[in-house]
Amino acid sequence: MYKMKVGREGHTLKRINILSEDTANKIAAGEVVERPSSVVKELVENAIDANCTNIVIEIEEGGTSLIRIIDDGDGIYKDDIVKAFLPHATSKINQSEDIYNIHTLGFRGEALPSIASVAKVNLKSKQENEEFGYEISIEGGKSSSVTECGVNKGTIIEVHDLFFNVPARKKFLKSVSKEGSLINDIITRLALANPKISFKLYSNHKKILHTFGNGDLKDVIRTIYGKSITDNILYYEDTSDLITVYGYVGKEEIARGSRNNQSIFVNKRYIKNKSLGIAVEQAFKSFSTVSKFPFFILFIEVYPEYVDVNIHPTKAEVKFNDERMIFKKIFGSVHTALKNEVFETFAIKEEAENIKTATVPSFEEITFKIKEEEEKVKYVNSQAKAMMEQGKDLKVDNYSINEYNATSTYISNLNYDTNSPDKSSNDDEINNNVIDIPVDLKLTERDTSINIENKNSIGLINNLNSENITENMNETTLSNKCSDVSKTSFDESITRPVNNLQDTDMQSLKENNNLKPTAKFPPITIIGQYNKTYILGEHDGTMYMIDQHAAHEKILFEKYLKEIEEGTIIIQPLMVPSIIDLSIDDYSYFEENKDIFGNAGFLLEEFGGNSLSLKEVPYFLGKLNPKKLFLDILDNLKNLGNGKTTEVKHNTIASKACKAAIKGNDRLEINEMVKLVEDLRYIDDPFHCPHGRPVIIKFTSTDIDKKFRRII
């Protein structure tokens, strides 16, 4: 008598069985055929791989009762129709090496047998050189013989009564409308990835979607999402030897509270990848403060060897060889597109044209202009001396010199260097009793001008540099105690730069011209300050409003950032090494990025297990917290950042700039506003503060006329 073998818990040990083909297909169907939309995806991808130009999708009752796919592709060979429904039968690959060089959407050969095992399937197909088409029917995995039929070139496949033999799976389906919506969603993604193919989707005999297949991606976007979306998207692109990234990103106006309007494609395959989506979202948040998700369509073209598409049952996820590099490419291209869109809004058309046609001025032209300006200065100098001999008190901008110096507190409060070039005056109208003199003549980096009026005052033009004016006025005849010595020094200050300029060769002029920063928005004439918070100005019929705190904060932020990036790393040895205990996951990231920590100024030694001994750290902005800085950089690397201190401590730098900047509700004098706006013009990005808020906004005369109903 035989005894039953009993397991540890008293259960009978079961023998290993080989599953039947039908059972195996139903298990496989559980992975591939999750719901009707999964069936539609697999069948439409097969049609795309067959080089079709038109695809018609018809569904009834959310795809549960009928799914019909009609294409005009290459069709299937007569002898291959039966093979197509066998497990792991495919025309896409021949050997295992081909898995790492996939150029098609399908390649496993699982879809058709999986679908046929849980539904009633009918397939008709005809090749171009065949006289007749051929048809096969399969029900629950049992197939009929192949027969001839009349059909156009291409393939028609019908799926009836999905999950008819697996009622448990059918119970987990959602409502008819929801299942139909999921099918519509997958068709829109496939249409975006294939603008050269015309897609038609019918649900219960009603047309839901129709793209035209003209190859224009923007036409597809307009068909799917509508005009309001299409009018608020920006194109971005970045190309290298290994990878091309391109697509469209939406402006802030069309951001949504969910990620439904985000699509990522790798080699035309729709995938889901959270980290790549975050790359776009981070770039978007640099220019937005709304807590919403941006609209974007992202295409990544990469050599098949550098991406593994065989890691997910439905191929919805892929694995990249270097995901960090792709992350940087996406972030950089999207960030550049959004930045350029803002810059173009404030672009200076005149300067852009001048840059294109700019040539180095000839020596004769320079000499002629300097002599002319020199004569003007000498004339006004004599006028000023004559006025003072008459006992008249000269004033600058309705302030006396002492009053002017007392109110010029902005420069001492800002604590940052100004290296911005010339801001030209736009005053074309000169009164008979007003003389326009340039006092610069290469004495300073700016071309400034003074209006000398016969009404006992010197008018200050908006582009005046307050430091230069104060210095020049103190050195020249601006008080009743002036002497011939001061006049001589004033004249020498005029003639000295003239001689120096004559000795300047053309090569140095070219170099100086190349080093000059570019103004990002036009020279603004300051109107005044509103609510002690906003600076108002105008240029060429456009009114500008500038947030004084955000403007100064961004100037300081860029200054601090450049000092850190261009300066040497200050290493701080620790008297007592800090021991850092890492998780296994964190330690693996450290092992992969040892060089980054070394370049950042960390000296780390292994301390046994997953522990590290931290002996030297980089000193960064105030109180030292070595362990926190190390972990912050490690977290940044885990999130596909570059590990740079400036990126990790972006918020710290921004906080320092915020605290040092002038605040809202601070009253500014006109010269302070002039200097602030002038410095803002020449920084890298003057339009957004470090937190993403706008710094400057503008209103055209048309915008204002509409508010007053002058234009309807």
Same-domain status, 269 and 312: yes
Which residue bears the tokens 């047998």? 113
User: Where a domain ends, among 490, 515, 540?
Assistant: 515
Same-domain status, 284 and 391:
no
- Give the model's pLDDT for residue 389: 66
Residue 499: predicted pLDDT: 41
Identify whether 8 is part of a domain: no
Q: Is residue 220 part of a domain?
A: no
**Residue 267: inside a domain, yes or no?**
yes
CA distance 616 to 625: 12
8 A C-beta contact, residue 648 and residue 637? no
Give the model's pLDDT for residue 447.
Answer: 41
> pLDDT tens for residues 665-710?
888 888 888 888 888 988 888 888 887 788 888 888 888 888 888 8
Are 305 and 422 part of one and the same domain?
A: no
pLDDT at 469: 39
Does 355 reside within a domain? no
- Domain assignment present for residue 357? The answer is no
Domain boundary among 179, 210, 241: 210
- Supply the pLDDT for residue 375: 64
- Under DSSP, the state recorded for 522 is P
- Residue 63 has what pLDDT? 92
Q: Do β-strands 296-302 and 262-266 pair in parallel, antiparallel, or remain unpaired?
A: parallel
Q: Are residues 578 and 698 in the same domain?
A: yes
What does the pLDDT read at residue 295? 93
Alpha carbon distance 52, 74 (integer Å): 7
Tokens matching residue 489? 């020094």
Within 10 A of 11 (CB to CB), how many other CB atoms are there? Answer: 8
Give the HSE-up count for residue 177: Cα atoms under 13 Å, Cβ half-sphere.
0
Question: 488 with 533, same domain?
Answer: no
Strands 269-271 and 142-143: unpaired
Do residues 553 and 685 both lie within one domain? yes
| 13 falls within a domain | no
Is the separation of the CB atoms in 50 and 197 below 8 Å?
no
Q: Which residue range forms the structural domain that includes residue 478?
A: 365-515
- What pLDDT shows up at residue 590? 82
pLDDT at 236: 94
User: Are 481 and 461 within one domain?
Assistant: yes
Length in residues, the chain? 712
Hey, what are 144's tokens? 């009929």
pLDDT at 400: 39
What pLDDT sits at residue 223?
93
CB 219 within 8 A of CB 198: no
Number of domains the chain contains: 4
Which residue, of 493, 515, 537, is where some domain finishes? 515
Nearest to 557 by CA among 654, 647, 675: 654
Both tokens of 141, joined, read: 């995995």
Residue 274 is predicted with a pLDDT of 87
Same domain for 233 and 184? no
Q: What is the CATH number of the domain that holds 697?
A: 3.30.1540.20
If asked whether residues 41 and 170 sit together in one domain, one would say yes
Same domain? 192 vs 234: no
- State the CATH number of the domain containing residue 101: 3.30.565.10
238 and 245 Cβ atoms separated by less than 8 Å: yes
Residue 270 lies in a domain: yes
476 and 489 share one domain:
yes
Considering the domain architecture, whether residues 506 and 532 belong to the same structural domain is answered as no
Question: Of 602, 675, 146, nearest to 409 (Cα)?
Answer: 675
- CATH number for the domain harbouring residue 281: 3.30.230.10
Q: Which residues of the chain have pLDDT under 50?
A: 1-4, 355-368, 395-513
Q: Give residue-wise pLDDT tens across range 382-438.
A: 666 666 666 665 544 444 344 434 334 444 444 444 444 444 444 444 344 443 434
Which amino acid makes up residue 195? P
In the prediction, which pLDDT does 496 show?
41
Flag whether 4 is in a domain: no
